[in-house]
Amino acid sequence: MTCTHSYWVVPLPALQRSSAMSDFVQTRRVGNVLVITIQNPPVNALSHAVRLGLTTAVAAAREDTLVQAVVLASSGTLFIGGADIREFGQPRQPPLLSQVCDEIEALNKPVVAAVHGPALGGGMEVALAAHFRVGGPQAQFALPEVLLGLMPGAGGTQRTPRLIGAKAALDLMLTGRRIEAARARELGLVDRLADDPLETAIIWAQALADQGAAPRRTCDGHGLDDIQASAAAIQAARIEVQRKHSQLFSPARIVDAVAAALEQPFEACIRLESELFLQCLDSPQRLGLVHAFFAEREALKVPEAAADAPRRLERIGVIGGGTMGAGIAVSLLDAGLQVILVERDEASLARGRATVEKVYEGLVAKHRLSPEACAGRLAQLEGAVGYGALADADLVIEAVFEDMAVKKAVFTELATICKPGAVLATNTSYLDVDVIAASSGRASDVIGLHFFSPANVMKLLEVVVPRQAAADAVATGFALAKRLRKVAVRAGVCDGFIGNRILACYRRAAEYMVEDGASPYEVDAALRGFGFPMGLFQVMDLAGGDIAWAARKRRAATRPADERYVHISDRLCERGWFGQKTQRGWYRYADGDRHGQPDPEVLAIIAQERRRAGVTPRVFSAQEIVQRYLGAMINEGANVVLEGIALRPLDVDVVLVNGYGFPRYRGGPLLYADQVGLPVLLERMQAWAVEDAQFWRPSELLLDLAHRGESFASLNRRGDKR
Ligand code: NAI
């Protein structure tokens, strides 16, 4: 084909008047084909200017008799990254995306979308509004609105099932997952795959024009023709949503919208979608989920990352192949890194390697990983006894016993063996990273990398920054997190950093309530009711009571004399009841049972401890349990910000959401605190302080903010703590 590429801007008065607007959507004619190109770096978000440019360009295509077909394309890496999230919460400015999509679909000339990169959210909805789709090797499709508490609102809930059927459409919309070009082709989401989708789309559009082909509109698609199969898929999705996301608002609305497609005409369904979309937009869950989304990105803005480029990351040493070391090794291997696992003797090394292999065998058995990929990952794993093998490692992560003497010995030796510039990291949960760093004699290379268990699953990574750490060592910690697809948060040095320090505090609040009259089962039920996936006592049984018991014994000597101490956990541990691994803890676990049953013997021990402490038990409502638990969490969160252990309130939110089960749809404890109102929280704390003034001493930061009528959000915005 000979192409005459004539570039021109949409010749409509509005666009001619504003050259800035024409920067976002350009058009050129190639033969009889109008190529509309979106150009809104960095991700081609569907901002108001882009929407306006698109409707203008579509109108031009409609009017121009020389144009007989249209290609919809974009420049940059992404096809279209989705809606412009900055416009959320602002008044909606027409044309809305749904209108733009309707206009594209209604065009009386064939429209071919050339999808060269990811088409996400609204971007996929634009592609669906086209009549035909060509996908390039980098094309991806996703409707991730559900992850932000939303649903597709520009026809996505209607066009997707009509194109690919209810089952596949619901799967995309309820998980938000991305699919690659080949899978999209299998599903019928794209018609053709091509190395150069733009060129193929232009040639195809020209051919359609030459044939005088009619548009093939997605709204007329046959994906729902098998009514029985569609109804079954919708029913299955309802059950799944109820089982997994009963507390979430938008998933059920998505299912409702698809169900309507079986009963009502397209236009009525689009109106319903629009109503449901607005309900989602107004829901507090959207606020929480969008906060969590932005907070995770903001948390990456740390002074060290801006100051310096990270060091090299290819060969990574892991010392200790226990629970954490093995999980960390899997996480590194999954990211394509080379791993040298070092243990203290051959038997421990074999155990560590076996743990890693077991994780991969499980994945292969569940068809989540191919045997070839599994073999490829294990080939990157070396094992060694003795630290000599770490001489050329770029980064070493220590995960040996939680014992200062052992850690110091490891770091002293590492400092002499590891090459200059290697970053030396500790996975300690509570120990003083400044002391560990000093013991190495090369403190500028030392940071903390606090993974969470299971390390290959949990998203959170606290990057702990001791006083003398070099900026590029810290930046390397953040670079590693990115490579591992983990959510990184900068934490200062203190007992427990951000997360475990706050946990220690709300755990005390929970134990006080148990000694004062609530059963651990009531506490757990109340927390699940709030949205935590598990109650605190269930979590403790899962983690193993022995670890926390050892920490309590270590701290016994330094515990303030006026601090209230509840002995119930110790009584359970003394009996060897450490939780799931011993089949008894706060709950009783029958063989293979992971949920546990309430244990009357535990209740008897609690009753005995209450008598010993002279407590007359009283009743706690679920509401009071949640209020006290979160009150303790928020107050210590404020202290952590006040002391600069967390850079901003949002860092606390990211830690609690990603490492401690705080319901993501509530954004995090400090966003929640703002919603409750800081004066209300302070009033509650003052009332509780009558029983225990030492524990319920309000954070200076909380007092200060409340006094000035400010919120945690105001600190997030200012990026400082006062
Ligand atoms: P673990 O007891 O399961 O594993 C420790 C491993 O280190 C053992 O396999 C042991 O043989 C090995 N080891 C001990 N001394 C060594 C030495 N000198 N050289 C080489 N290997 C040595 O302990 P776990 O649970 O994996 O904890 C490791 C570290 O991670 C601790 O500092 C712990 O506080 C921290 N951590 C633990 C979490 C958890 O949930 N278990 C969560 C986050 C951090």
Spell out the domain ranges in the chain: 5-280, 305-494, 500-718
Instruction: Name the one residue in this structure whose structure tokens are 């949002």.
Output: 650
In the numeric block, the tokens 């200012």 are attached to 718
Q: Which residue has the higher pLDDT, 21 or 200?
A: 200
Over residues 554-570, the mean pLDDT reads 91
Q: Which one, of 305, 560, 559, 550, lies nearest residue 431 by Cα?
A: 550
Which of 429, 462, 578, 655 best tests ligand 1's pocket when mutated (most atoms within 8 Å of CB)?
429
For 209-213, 398-402, 426-430, 717-721, which range has the lowest pLDDT when averaged over its residues? 717-721
Q: For residue 320, report the distance from its CA to the centre of ligand 1, in Å.
A: 6
pLDDT of residue 279 exceeding 70: yes
Distance CA 235, CA 259 (A): 9
Looking at the predicted structure, is the pLDDT value of residue 573 above 80?
A: yes
- Per-residue pLDDT at 213 exceeds 50: yes
Ligand 1 site residues, Cβ closer than 6 angstroms: 319-325, 342-344, 348, 352, 399-402, 406, 410, 427-429, 451-453, 543
Would the pLDDT of 393 be above 50? yes
Please say whether the dihedral angle defined by the alpha carbons of residues 125, 130, 131 and 136, taken in this order, is positive or negative: negative
Determine the distance separating the centroid of ligand 1 and the alpha carbon of 303, expressed in angstroms: 30
Cα dihedral sign, 57-59-65-67: positive
Would you say 149 and 665 are in contact if contact means Cβ atoms under 8 Å apart?
A: yes
Q: Express as a percent the part of the chain with pLDDT over 90.
A: 89
**What is the residue with the minimal CA distance to atom 40 of ligand 1?**
453
Q: Give me the sign of the Cα torsion angle 177, 179, 185, 186.
A: negative
Kindly list the distances between the CA atom of residue 420 and the CA atoms of 316, 394, 437, 444, in Å, as whole numbers in the listed order: 14, 9, 15, 11
Contacts of 530 (CB under 8 A, 6+ apart): 626, 630, 663
Across 416-472, the runs of DSSP E, i.e. the strands, are 423-426, 446-451, 460-464
Q: Classify burial at 76, counting beta carbons within 10 Å of its beta carbon; exposed 0-12, middle 13-18, buried 19 or more.
A: middle
Superfamily, domain 305-494: NAD(P)-binding Rossmann-like Domain (3.40.50.720)
- Ligand 1, from 318, 319, 324: best to mutate by most atoms within 8 Å of Cβ? 324
DSSP sequence for 522-569: HHHHHHHHHT-SS-HHHHHHHH-HHHHHHHHHHHGGGS-TTS----HH
pLDDT of residue 19: 30
Q: What is the pLDDT of residues 608-622, one digit of tens each?
A: 999 999 999 999 999
User: Which one, of 620, 655, 610, lies nearest residue 636 by Cα?
Assistant: 655
The catalytic residue positions are 125, 145
Q: What is the DSSP string of 608-626?
A: HHHHHHT-------HHHHH
Q: Say how far apart CA 78 and CA 120 lie, in whole Å.
A: 9
Rounded CA gap, 299 and 649, in Å?
Answer: 10
Counting from 1 in the atom list of ligand 1, the atom nearest the Cα of 321 is: 9
**CA 321 – ligand 1 centroid, Å:** 7
Residue nearest ligand 1's atom 17 by CA: 344
Cα 603 to averaged position of ligand 1 atoms, centre (Å) = 33
Q: What is the mean pLDDT of residues 66-79?
A: 97
Q: What atom in ligand 1 is closest to the CA of residue 543?
A: 40
* CATH architecture observed for domain 5-280: Alpha-Beta Complex (3.90)
Asked if 300 and 341 count as a contact pair (C-beta separation under 8 A), the reply is: no
In contact, 125 and 156? CB cutoff 8 Å: yes
- How does the average pLDDT of the chain come out, rounded? 94
Q: Ligand 1 mean position to 576 CA, how many Å?
A: 21
Q: Which of 462, 470, 396, 475 is nearest to 429 (CA)?
A: 462
In this structure, which residue's CA is closest to atom 36 in ligand 1? 429
Cβ atoms of residues 440 and 316 within 8 Å: no
Instruction: Please state the rounded mean pLDDT for residues 141-145.
Output: 97
Residue 171 has pLDDT above 50, yes or no: yes
- The encoded tokens of residue 353 equal 């390697």
Q: Bigger pLDDT: 267 or 9? A: 267
Alpha-carbon separation of residue 209 from 30, 108, 137, 202, 352 (angstroms): 12, 11, 26, 10, 64
Report which of 382, 383, 384, 436 is spatially closest to residue 413, judged by C-alpha positions.
436
pLDDT on residue 619 = 98
- For a pocket test of ligand 1, which of 318, 319, 323, 408 has the largest count of ligand atoms closer than 8 A to its C-beta? 323
Task: Single out the residue of 490, 454, 461 nearest to residue 329, CA to CA.
Answer: 454
Q: What is the pLDDT of residues 329-350, one digit of tens each?
A: 999 999 999 999 999 999 999 9
pLDDT at 204 > cutoff 90: yes
Query: Which CATH fold would you assign to the domain 500-718?
Result: N-(1-d-carboxylethyl)-l-norvaline Dehydrogenase; domain 2 (1.10.1040)
To test the pocket of ligand 1, the residue of 318, 330, 331, 344 to mutate (highest count of ligand atoms within 8 Å of its CB) is: 344
Q: Which residues pair with 37 in a beta bridge?
A: 26, 73
Q: What does the pLDDT look like over 520-547, one tens digit per residue?
A: 999 999 999 999 999 999 999 998 898 7
Determine which helix (DSSP H) or strand (DSSP E) holds 684, and give its type and residue range. Answer: helix 678-689
Average pLDDT rounded to a whole number, residues 125-154? 97
Average pLDDT over residues 569-592: 94
15 pLDDT above the threshold of 70: no
Q: Residue 22's pLDDT is what?
A: 58
Average pLDDT, integer, range 422-438: 96
Query: How does residue 594 score in pLDDT terms, banded at 50, 70 and 90?
Result: confident
pLDDT grade, residue 11 (50/70/90)? very low
Provide the pairing of β-strand 381-385 with 338-343: parallel
Give the model's pLDDT for residue 552.
87
Distance between Cα 557 and ligand 1 center (Å): 24
Query: In the predicted model, is pLDDT for residue 77 greater than 70?
Result: yes
User: Nearest residue CA, atom 9 of ligand 1?
Assistant: 322
What kind and span of H or E run contains 511? helix 499-516
Distance, CA 575 to ligand 1 centroid (Å)?
24
Higher pLDDT, 133 or 18: 133
